Amino acid sequence: MNIGLSHFLFVSGMLFAIGFFGVLLRRNVLVIFMCLELMLTASILGLVSFSRYNATEGEFLWSGNVFVLFIIAIAASEVAVGLAIMVALWRRRQSVDVANHAELKN
Amino acid sequence: MSVPELLITILLSPLAAAGLIWLFGRKNHNLAAGLSVLAAGVSMVCGLILLYSVWDGTVVEGMRVEWLSLGALQISLGFLLNPVSALMLGVVTFVGFWIHVFSLGYMQGDAGKGRFFGGLSIFMFSMLGIVLADNLFMIFIFWELVGFSSYMLIGHYLTEEAAAASKKAFIVNRVGDFGLLLGIIYTYWNFGTTDFGALEQAIGGHPGAVSTVVGLLLFCGVLGKSAQMPLHVWLPDAMAGPTPISALIHAATMVAAGVFLLARLAFVFTPEALEVIAWVGTITAVCAAIWAFAQRDIKKILAYSTLSQLGYMVAAFGFGTLYALDHGSSAGHTAAAFGVGAAMFHLTTHAFFKALMFLGSGSVIHACHHEQDIFKMGGLLKKMPITGITFGIGVLAIAGVPLLSGFYSKDAILYLARETNTIAFYLLTFTALLTATYMGRLFFIAFWGKAKSEHAEHAHESPMTMWLPLVVLAVLSIIGGYTVGGPFTIYPSSILGVLGDSVPELHGSDHTLFIIISLVAATIGLLGAYLFYGAGATEDRLEQRMRPLWALSKSRFYFDEIYGWYVARIQDRVADFIDFMDAFLIGGVAVRGSAGITGLFGLLARSFHTGNAGSYVWWFFIGLLTIWGFASGFLTNLF
Amino acid sequence: MSSLAILSFLDGLANVLRSVDDIPLINQGILMLSVLLPLCVAVSLATSGTLSDRVVRGWACFGFLFPALGALWLWATYQATVSDGGYTFELISETGLEAFGIYFALGLNGISMPLFLMAGIVGLAAGFYAIQSNVERKRLYLILLLIMQTGLMGLFASVDVLFYYLFHEFALIPTFVMIAIWGGQGRKRVALEMTIYLTFGAMLTLVGLIALYVTSGASSFNMISLRDALIETEASKTIFGFLLIGFGVLVSLFPFHSWAPSGYAKAPASAAMLHAGVLKKFGLYGLIQIALPVLPTGFETWAPVLLWLALGNVIVIGFVTMGQRDLKMMLGNASVMHMGYAFLGIYAYSTMGVGGAVLMMVAHGLSIAVLFLLADAISIRTGTTEFSELGGLGKTAPVLMGFFVAATMASIGLPGFGNFWGELSIFVALYQGEAPWAVIPVLAGIVISAVYGLRAVAKVFFGESKLEYTGGDLTAKEKLPAVILLFALLALGFWPRGISDNLNAAVEAGLPQSGITHAANNAHPTE
């Protein structure tokens, strides 16, 4: 079987969907974060595969890969900040369940 | 001094005194009293000089100063001096001065003496303003000021009774002023001016130029100020004020201002209006005379007597002017002269004898330590001879005994009534009879017989500041009626135009007839009072023997009760109801309601904030879809 | 003093210097200072750390005294030099917003001059009363009053419409704070209700004013240039509607009056004096100065509405006032009722009517200020303002009684005080208008006002006292502001020409003569 672009995109899409629904439906904040990362990973995969399959003969297409590097850096910093907030939330409520952190209600 | 200078002095000296009293005299009561009396004296002296030597009787209009000019409205203040106002000026300043002197003695020891004299001076200023005014706006200004002085002075003793009485006086006057102002505004817009001289030229001689309604509206002011029915209710209550006030304001001058206004505006009234005016006066005269019989308070009796006499004046004006209109001008009189003349004549004589009697009652009240019930007095003639005799002269004058002033003026009125309307003539003559009777009742019970209470026992004559005015006024009550036809006259020639020519002269059989009528009425009245009530009685015999008649008199035809019922039941309830509606509908439903609705929107918006991060992500997703829909044209094509 | 004070002063002075081309003219400088000085004093009081009570009082006294004296000086100069009621003492400076047509422009004309003077005098009296009173946190109180004073003076002196609005907000917001902190029972809700309601009204006027500017195509928000741009189109009707309702809310026109009685009853004395006395006139002033000259067709459309609403003020609120049982509520409702007269003067649309309305505004401002001052004095001495609990104060406090009676008589239109001239002009003008029958209910109003005014006097001062009263008669310090106000009232009553001549000319110039069939100025009575 010839593995083409569409296969990679399919995987990327599945990963994205898993991550997306995980953010919407999971209650544990850590899991939500992981799903966020999953979505990012899915987008990374998609970018790399585009850059691989849209390269013409003899010439590499660097743009997708470079973009991936950006995304990784940003993801890392976002995770750092997010985890710090999460730790602060844990200190307040001793819980990482999203439902317990509804003080902004109304 | 020239005429304008004298007029300015007369007008402004009481105002200056009032100002000085307000600044310095509130604690120093004697200073206040002195200033006030001095100002009154200055006015009187200047007035006398003016009338007797400086002024020659020609009409003087002067010193017109524009006070306010806004667009088409021009209000100016100026003087108009003609025989009518000159006569009024003389009466006001002269009687006013003597009442000031009387107050020196009467208000001795009163805590508010400074305030009292300040009020007296303001009153004099306002009253003189009315007398000298040359246009309706100016009269209205001083009319209101006079009402204010009356309010202040009636309320002098600061009791509940004084509060109610002063409030009633002011409000009833205001009701009259409502009509007056309407009439003034209408006059201003129809004729472009409210100046008396200009109005007379525009209207005079053609009463059809102005409608009856205007005349009646202007008469409303007279209803209020001169206490004619149905706005008469404030005058008896006004007796809550100190007696000199009752004498000055509610007998001699302020209440006469209405009659004065009629005299000034004589040319405005159509025959229909005059009929109404005359009948209002007649009915007031009769009813007030009936009501005087059930009164026990000496001041109240005099108050109802004043009401009755004011009715006479108003009726005189009405009938006299009607008479002159019917008979046309004759012997050089203008059409309105007889009404004016008779009314002003009676105003003058009434001022003398009523002020005399009020001051006399003040003397009596003072001596009996503020006892005002006549059935607790008695035998005062022996104890207070000067007061008694002068009071007796006043009674004779008001009863219309010939040769005294009251006879002459009352005769003129009865004659005019007879010539115009026989029923009114009978009513007025009957009233004259009643007048003699109730005044006799007052005199015999209070002054003759034996003293019926401690206070009356120990009464003694008042000090000179109090009996001197009595004597002066008594003399005038006797000789004040002699004008053109009499043996001599105290009036200067400048005024005789009003008092002499404008009062109908009775000749021959009419002359004798009316002497007889007056004599008979007076005699029957006085004698009847003596026989029926007996001298020095302790109880009211009318009350004992003819209860129904007495009850009728005491009811005063329920005017006060009706007004009171209206205020308490209707006016106050309407006010409360409207207040409730305002608070409920506008304040509650509209304002708080809209605030509530806004709050509901707020609640709706708040409900979106669940605080749950997951739901926020859902919203994010939905928003994303919507934006994608618009961006791709999917949603916009749908709509 | 703090350095900030000095800096603010210098800044003000510099503004003066910058605004005119050559030598700074004294009168314009006085005008500028009269407007801005209270604000500077307020700022310096706010930022100056600890100060002794005497210094605070003295400095605040200066802050109130200068605008009043300045206003008097300007009035005297105006009377002496101007006879056509036009604008003088003009002072225009850049604000950086010229692209929108917004300049900082001050000036006075025949209509704003008397109101400016009144604002100064009432502010002076309110300030004195506040300085000698025993409120807590007096310094904050005085600061807020001073800010209000700038707003009041500035509004009348302002020739630029948007600065008019700005100064209005300057005057309004401190009221909110003052009621919320120093008010009586239930003050927070009342303060909120009043401020939101008034801001809503101000918002409507802002819409109207901006629409006016845009539609007229004038080059700036300057009132003088706006006046020349008569708007005859359909838009005139909508714009006038906005302005009428908006200004009406500010002046408590009939259905929009609910904020007034409770607001004034709960407000501390000086705030009530300034608000009821001066703030309430802003809307009327706006209508007369801005709306009437520019929007004649709009006026004509809305005239019947104005008539009925104003009659509602007089009759309906008249009855409401008669039913009041609390002194301050009664005074609040009475002031609403009197605004009905002023609106009717505007309805009459003649020089007489509008001029009478302005006269009435000036006199009413003075008289209601005295009444609120005295009501506060009464409540300090007796601890209550309910009629059922009051009585017999006349014996213990005769001077207070005398002043109160004088002020009551003034407000019900007794000649000798300024209110009479205003009311009389309005009555006479109303008869000549499109609805002469309206004079009858309006005149009934003079009986209604006598009823509630005298009832109040009788209940408070006559009879016997039902409670223990502390304190005696008015102290000299309390008397001073009352005397100032009463003297001004008497002066206006005795010599209305001090104001009316220029007023007459200014109003005459302002009312457009474009052939409207509504009551025209030139229908003079026949001679």
Q: Which residue of C has its CA nearest to B175?
A: C447
Closest CA to B446 of B304, B297, B300: B297
pLDDT of residue C521: 38
Q: Which residue of B has its CA nearest to C523?
A: B72
pLDDT of residue C519: 37
Cα distance between residue B60 and residue B80, in whole Å: 6
Give the number of A-B residue pairs with CB atoms closer than 8 Å. Answer: 29
pLDDT of residue C520: 36
- Which residue do the tokens 């005491």 mark? B554
B345 interfaces chain C, CB cutoff of 8 Å: no
Contact criterion met (CB < 8 Å) for A24 and B607: no
Mind listing the pLDDT tens digit for each residue in C115-167?
999 999 999 999 999 998 888 888 899 999 999 999 999 999 988 888 899 99
Judging contacts by C-beta atoms under 8 Å, the chain A residues touching residue B613 are 32, 98, 101
A89 interfaces chain B, CB cutoff of 8 Å: no
Structural contact between residues B252 and B355, judged by C-beta atoms closer than 8 angstroms: yes
- Binned at pLDDT 50, 70 and 90, residue C107 comes out as confident
Q: How close B272 comes to chain C (CA, Å)? A: 23
Judging contacts by C-beta atoms under 8 Å, the chain B residues touching residue C392 are 158
- Whether there are 3 or more C-beta pairs closer than 8 Å between A and C is no
- Binned at pLDDT 50, 70 and 90, residue C23 comes out as very low
φ and ψ of C103, to 5 deg: -120, 160
Cα distance between residue C88 and residue C405, in whole Å: 38
Query: What global pTM score does this model have?
Result: 0.87
Structural contact between residues B461 and B549, judged by C-beta atoms closer than 8 angstroms: no
Contacts of C365 by beta carbon, 8 Å cutoff, 6+ apart: C118, C119, C122, C276, C277, C278, C280, C281
DSSP-based three-state secondary structure for C105: strand
B186 interfaces chain C, CB cutoff of 8 Å: yes
pLDDT of residue C381: 87
- Binned at pLDDT 50, 70 and 90, residue C17 comes out as low
In A34-91, where do the E strands start and end? none
Strand (E) or helix (H) holding C130 = helix C112-132
**Which structure tokens are listed for C355?**
């001029």
Contacts of B503 by beta carbon, 8 Å cutoff, 6+ apart: B338, B341, B342, B345, B409, B412, B483
Among B326-330, C15-19, C332-336, C394-398, top mean pLDDT goes to: C332-336
φ and ψ of B80, to 5 deg: -135, 120
* Disruptive mutation site among B12, B26, B68 for chain C (greatest number of C CBs within 10 Å): B68
Contact criterion met (CB < 8 Å) for C425 and B587: no
Q: Which residue of B has its CA nearest to C453?
A: B167
Q: How close C1 comes to chain B (CA, Å)? A: 40
Q: How close C37 comes to chain B (CA, Å)? A: 34
Q: Does C526 have pLDDT greater than 60? A: no
Cα B204–chain centre separation: 27
pLDDT of residue B84: 87
Q: Which residue of B has its CA nearest to C418?
A: B68
* Disruptive mutation site among B73, B116, B154 for chain C (greatest number of C CBs within 10 Å): B73
Contact criterion met (CB < 8 Å) for B192 and C193: no
Q: Which residue of B has its CA nearest to C444?
A: B178
B192 interfaces chain C, CB cutoff of 8 Å: yes
- Range list of H helices, B422-502: 422-447, 454-457, 464-479, 493-496
Contact criterion met (CB < 8 Å) for A98 and B612: yes
The ipTM estimated for the assembled molecules is 0.89
Cα dihedral B86, B92, B97, B101, rounded to 10, equals 160
Chain B, window 429-458: residues with a beta carbon less than 8 angstroms from a chain C beta carbon: none
Cα distance between residue B168 and residue B560, in whole Å: 11
Contact criterion met (CB < 8 Å) for C526 and B182: no
Contact criterion met (CB < 8 Å) for C444 and B178: yes
Contact criterion met (CB < 8 Å) for A103 and B611: yes
Cα distance between residue B513 and residue B503, in whole Å: 17
Judging contacts by C-beta atoms under 8 Å, the chain B residues touching residue C521 are 71-72
Cα distance between residue C477 and residue C479, in whole Å: 5
Of the partner residues A24, A27, A32, the one whose CB lies closest to the CB of residue B618: A24
pLDDT of residue C96: 67
Q: How close B623 comes to chain A (CA, Å)? A: 15
**Which structure tokens are listed for B521?**
């009425």
Structural contact between residues B471 and B59, judged by C-beta atoms closer than 8 angstroms: no
Region C69-80: mean pLDDT is 87
**Which structure tokens are listed for A4?**
């083409």
**Which structure tokens are listed for B254?**
């302020």
Region A31-49: mean pLDDT is 94
- Whether there are 3 or more C-beta pairs closer than 8 Å between B and A is yes
Region C189-194: mean pLDDT is 89
Contact criterion met (CB < 8 Å) for B610 and A25: no
Give per-10-residue mean pLDDT for chain B (639 aa). Answer: 84 91 81 90 90 80 82 86 88 92 88 88 93 91 93 90 91 92 89 83 66 86 90 90 89 87 86 89 92 88 92 90 72 60 89 92 86 81 87 91 86 85 89 91 84 74 85 88 73 74 70 84 86 73 77 82 84 87 83 87 87 82 89 77
Q: Which residue of C has its CA nearest to B163?
A: C458
Q: What is the DSSP letter of C234?
A: T
Q: How close B622 comes to chain A (CA, Å)? A: 12
Judging contacts by C-beta atoms under 8 Å, the chain B residues touching residue C427 are 181, 185
Contact criterion met (CB < 8 Å) for B73 and C320: no
Cα distance between residue B200 and residue B334, in whole Å: 12
Contact criterion met (CB < 8 Å) for B155 and C415: no
Judging contacts by C-beta atoms under 8 Å, the chain C residues touching residue B174 are 446-447, 450
Judging contacts by C-beta atoms under 8 Å, the chain C residues touching residue B178 are 443-444, 446-447
Contact criterion met (CB < 8 Å) for A106 and B607: yes
pLDDT of residue B252: 80
Q: Which chains touch A (3 or more CB pairs under 8 A)?
A: B
C-alpha count within 13 angstroms, C-beta hemisphere, residue B631: 6
φ and ψ of C94, to 5 deg: -75, 150
Contact criterion met (CB < 8 Å) for C428 and B73: yes
